[in-house]
Structure 1
Amino acid sequence: MSTATLPAGMAPARRFALRGGPAWLLAPAVIFLGFIYVLPLLDLFRVSLTGATLFANFERVFSVPLYWDSLVRTLAIAGWVVVLCALFGYPTALLIHRSRGIAKALLTGAIILPYFVAILIRTYAWMVLLGRNGPINKALLAIGVIDTPIDLLFNRGAVLLGMSAVLMPLMVLTIYSGLSRIDPAVLRAARSAGAGPMAVFWRIFFPLSLPSVGAGCLLVFVSALGFFITPTLLGGPGDHMFAMHITQQADFLGSEGFLQALAVVLLLITLLMVGVAMRFLGLDFIWGGQKLDDNAGRTRPQHEKGQASPVKTALADAIGWPVLRALGALPERVGTWFVGLTGGFVVAALTLPIVVVAIISFSRSSFLTFPPPALSTRWYAQFISDSNWMTAFGTSVGVAIVSALLAVLIGASAAMAIVRSNFRGKSIVMTLLISPIIVPPVVLGLSLYSFVLRLDLIGTVPGVAMAHAIGGIPLVVVIVAAALQAVDQKLELAAAVHGASPLRVFAHVTLPGITPGLAAAGFFAFLHSFDELVLSMFLAGSRMTTLPLRLWADINYQLNPVLAVVSTLEVLLVIAGISFARKTLAGRTQP
């Protein structure tokens, strides 16, 4: 039926359905990311191939023991971090999944809060906790386990602990997202058929949760590959990771070509792992399994189809039945206690360092010690009165505002196109929009340096803000897309039936419905920029000092309670933002 033959009242609705949220709204994101994100990465590949021979720089990367050993060490550390996060993250996600009411809200908040606190802040908290005058050493001395403080810092154990604590929220939230989509009716049917709790877990629940576990492992692994802040601060000389060489070589002008080759190697390993994940988990594992409708069909995670694949079932059988026979005689409460204790330990490990740092910020002592000998606000006064700290704070706020505005304008229009348009390859487009979160920051920072330098924007607010917006856009796209999916399209069509133009429908129906999502997206884009350290290290130059850069410099040269003040103020900022966006976050975490 053509528009001309439609009833009078239906013609505007038909036009709205055709024109509302057209694919051309992707244009700003395509143009911005194409020039600021894709082209610099392609140029990185080009420069890496310059040299005496086409692959001379890569031959050096793999032939020099320093770099080869560092690469192997990085893969090993990332692997161990994945194992630790999976072992402790799964019971924690299960605990949240089984909790109800206020307990569920508190547990979820305890995981979400550290996730949005800057990596530098969380690593600093572990430096305080593991220090010779820290609470762990003092507790061991108090109970008589040790006679003198022991060195808990600057070793492989501290690196694994710090990196696992930083990445644990990513694992827990990813697994919980998958657990919340398992159909409870399937579990009830198994129990009604006579299966016991352990059998239901191994035969039904665990196989259906494997995609989310795999997604969490891959996201943690690719994130760990690009780490250098936490290993630098917590590790020793034998814990240097591959990304450290990129930041160190960046200071030498003669390393061009080889420096880019280092970055390309790290990027290719990351892309290889993501490609493997996409092959087995689908494209949607990156953004948490949101359903996307397109002309080519519907993208749905395997576990949403209500059945596990034969391979997953066989894997669960091979692992599960021997364990099931050994544990079958144990009462169900043993599993409940194990989940509760493990989840409680993880929550304590994530929140305790933040609490300790907050208490130290009120210490009267001139050095880091816990508990403080006396309480005082002297360090808050020193922070406020220090012009260098205030300048860095103001710079970070200015950059973050510009970056958040860019991310919201570009990301919200892209989310509108994704949700309200029908076109082939929607999942591929969504993956490209989200892809900046998987590119190691050191690789992105190095690729952007030459681009921003050619624009003469090194050390300027526009140059740094544009770079920060690359990472803010994925956050905006995911949050706004979720908010748009919650808006009933029938309301939009009803407004169109009564003669409202598409612009008027958007202004009076769609926009009010997604305003909480836009506000939350804007805040988290602001926070992402405010916390960004790695890109700022490459692009700030000598003319600009942001708050993370000032914090990084002080942590490397001196540790005093002023750093705890900065950390505490940032945590308070995160808490305020999460409280402001609680409705949107609650909507995204509902089963």
Structure 2
Amino acid sequence: MTAMYKLGRMPLLLALPALVILVVVFCIPLARLFLISLNAPDFSFGNYATFLSQTANIRVLLQTLEISAIATFACVVLGYPTAYAIVAASKPARMIILALIVVPYLTSFVARTYAWVVILGDTGLINTLLIKAGLVSSPLQLIFNRMAVYLGMVHIMLPMMILPLVSVMMGIDRSLTAAARSMGASPLTAFWRVFFPLSMPGVRSGALLVFVICLGFYITPAALGGLGDAMLSTFIAAQVQSSFNLPRAAAASFVLLAIALILLSILGLDLSGNGNSGNAVRMRRSWRPRFFELHKRQLNEVSTRHRAGRWAAYLYRPDGSETRRKIASATFVTLVTAFLLFPEIVVIVMSFSSGAYLDFPPSGFSLRWYRSFFGDPGWYGAAQTSIRIALIVAVLSTVVGTVAAYGLSRTNPRTRRLLTMLILAPITIPVIVVGVAFYLGLSNLNLIGSQTGVVLAHTPGALGFVVVIVSATLANFDSRLEQAAQSMRAGPMQTFTRVTLPLIRPGIIGGAIFAFLHSFDEVVITSLISGFSVYTLPLKMWENMRNEVDPTVAAVASLLTLLPVLWMIIIYFIYKRWKARGHSELPGVMLNA
């Protein structure tokens, strides 16, 4: 009891286990990797000079930046109007649309990449339909090109763009837009001058997150792109796995990491949008030259009398454009949702094909490929390995991450922000860099090719998800409930188990689910750490996609697509159960989680 009291007085000690795991598995190896890139102890920039002096490396680096930038731009163009329409929709419609967007977001990205292989391949859905319709006589080259890479990357990253935008837009006071309309502003002017600047934190954070993650993409470009579409992550992975040239891989990794850190330090990640409205408006105006600002002000003064005379009539005039805007918004959201869900639906339908190869529509329906999955020890053995590793990672990261989030919630804001950024580092920098750092750290511990090594490599990223979700839950927690319990002579342990834990349990469950999915779906880091000895299900899928054409992958992808649906059903019943018990604060907690 005394120990718990001391821990309550020193909350940073609660975050110590998470920080120890992070430092041992990630921070120290990352520092050693940097020293290797500098040829320590001689300390020279020879590896960087070699990397930058080769034209092929520069071309791949610029190509990586180009592909990431275009994919990010496409996500912004598609994601912003989608998020705006979601926020403007009614609450039931908003929840349904968000659920349809979250399902692809939680689906294995290997399965989603395979879905595009099935759709764009020579014998895929599009070519099959075109040939049967007589529009083409031979298959079109729809795969192994840059456009296929863009389709796959945008499909995977679009939910990650939409969700932060929805989070920020939900916090914007709509009365500000209504006030602008009441003063004669048109809907477009009210949106552009009021709503858009206030939503810029979501655009900035979402675009930055998407761009940084795209920098480390490895599976999707390798599966959908050609030889001329390789990204820097492919070069780094080849240096580690094939030639084992760690200094060159380290130099390339830190070139990629430097780009990500520069962007993160300049733009930052702020999904709140609170307190930044004035800054957003001022920043937007500061981009305009003062010459244009002066002439615009003069024109506004000239038109003021005209606008003042017509604003009342304009305000109360029947407006049929509102109906048209609603129809256009509903159509656009339907198309975006179909874009996110259609590949998964195609794979599910084709997985029931009875033929020797996949076709759409299937010539016959059977469970042939599902029987192949459950009857092949290689496949279900890989699934058992993935489930076992993911369960261990989920339990470890949930316990350590929950305790860390509880401790961080009781520290001062500056310390909490700094430590949270450190904990989130493994999931906010390019994954290939994280994988190389893990590889270096675990190789020194002789854990390459072991399940223990894979568990340790998955845990830092899972910790980040748990800390974020539980911290969001604790942000809505009323600490006066703990004070009331302690005033009635409840000890720290009893207060935590009887008061705090039941109220934050939805966030803990959400964190555990995301930790499980993070580990279960991981393939880039696993491919470096497994040493061809530990085969998880995503890793076996990736090897199968590269080396042979086995329709069993369609059955596996279908099962992985249905997995997030199962998780959402579980979360829904947990929510209903808690709501039936009268926990009025649960909806807010679940929304933040």
Deviations 1:390-426 (A, max 9, x none): 2111111111111112211221111101223336432
Are residues 1:569 and 2:541 paired? no
CA distance in 1, matches of 2:82, 2:428: 24
What is aligned with 1:6? none
Could you tell me whether the CA contact under 8 Å between 2:469 and 2:592 is conserved in 1?
A: no
- Residue 338 of structure 1 and its aligned partner are, at CA, apart by 3.7
How many angstroms does 1:441 deviate by? 1.6
Are 2:421 and 1:449 equivalent residues in the alignment?
no
Secondary structure of the residue aligned to 1:89 is helix
State how far apart, in whole Å, the 2-side matches of 1:440 and 1:94 are. Answer: 29
1:550 shift after superposition: 0.8
3-state SS of 2:241 partner: coil
CA separation of 1:142/1:334 partners in 2, compared to 1, >3 Å: closer, same or farther?
Answer: farther
Q: Within 2, Cα distance between the matches of 1:388 and 1:535? A: 21
Matched ranges for 1:14-413 at <5 A: 19=8, 22-50=11-39, 54-141=44-131, 145-253=135-243, 255-278=245-268, 284-285=269-270, 288-289=271-272, 301-303=274-276, 308-313=280-285, 331-413=321-403
What's the offset of the Cα at 1:332? 4.0
1:500 to 486, 490, 501: 490
If the length of structure 1 is used for normalisation, what is the TM-score? 0.88
**Deviates most, 20-29 or 513-522:** 20-29
Q: Distance in 2 between matches of 1:204 and 1:522?
A: 39
Q: CA, structure 1 residues 144+345, in 2 after alignment: closer, same or farther (shift >3 Å)?
A: farther
Question: Do 1:78 and 1:221's aligned partners in 2 also have CA atoms closer than 8 Å?
Answer: yes
Distance of 1:345 and 1:506 partners within structure 2? 47
Q: Which amino acid aligns with 1:375?
A: F
Whether the 8 Å contact between 2:213 and 2:431 is mirrored in structure 1 is no
For residues 203 and 213 of structure 2, the distance between their equivalents in structure 1, rounded to whole angstroms, comes to 15
Partner Cα distance (1:423, 1:229) in 2:
38
- In 2, the alpha carbon distance for the partners of 1:315 and 1:336 equals 32
- Offset at 1:585? 8.7
Contact 1:263 1:443 in 2 (8 A): yes
What are structure 1's unaligned runs of at least 5 residues? 1-11, 279-283, 290-299
Task: Give me the whole-angstrom Cα distance separating, in 2, the residues matched to 1:230 and 1:192.
Answer: 49
CA distance in 2, matches of 1:528, 1:410: 16
AA aligned opposite 2:482: E
Task: For 1:144 and 1:315, locate their aligned partners in 2 and report how far apart those are by CA, in whole Å.
Answer: 53
SS at match of 2:409: helix
Instruction: List per-residue Cα deviations over 1:509-537 (Å, max 9, x = no partner).
Output: 01111112111211210111011101111
Instruction: Tell me, yes or no, if the aligned pair for 1:175 and 1:213 is still in contact at 8 Å.
Output: yes
Deviations 1:283-318 (A, max 9, x none): x52xx33xxxxxxxxxx7444x57743222465999
Q: How many residue pairs were aligned? A: 554
2:423 and 2:460 in contact (8 A); partners too: no
Tell me, in whole angstroms, the C-alpha distance in 2 between the residues paired with 1:570 and 1:409. 26
Q: Is the 8 A contact 1:203 1:313 kept in 2?
A: no
Deviation at 1:361, TM superposition (A): 1.2
Deviations 1:165-203 (A, max 9, x none): 111111111111111110122222222323221121111
> Match of 1:418?
408
Report the alpha carbon displacement of residue 150 of structure 1 after superposing the two structures with TM.
Answer: 1.3
Q: Could you tell me which amino acid in structure 2 is paired with residue 152 of structure 1?
A: L
Structure 2 letter corresponding to 1:393: A
Distance 1:586 1:163 in 2: 32
Please, which runs of 5 or more residues in structure 2 have no aligned partner? 297-302, 304-313, 576-585
- The alpha-carbon deviation at position 21 of structure 1 amounts to 7.7
Q: Which amino acid aligns with 2:67?
A: I
| Mapped partners of 2:440, 2:78: distance in 1 | 41
Residue 455 of structure 1, CA deviation: 1.2
Secondary structure at the counterpart of residue 151 of structure 1:
coil
Sequence identity percentage: 36
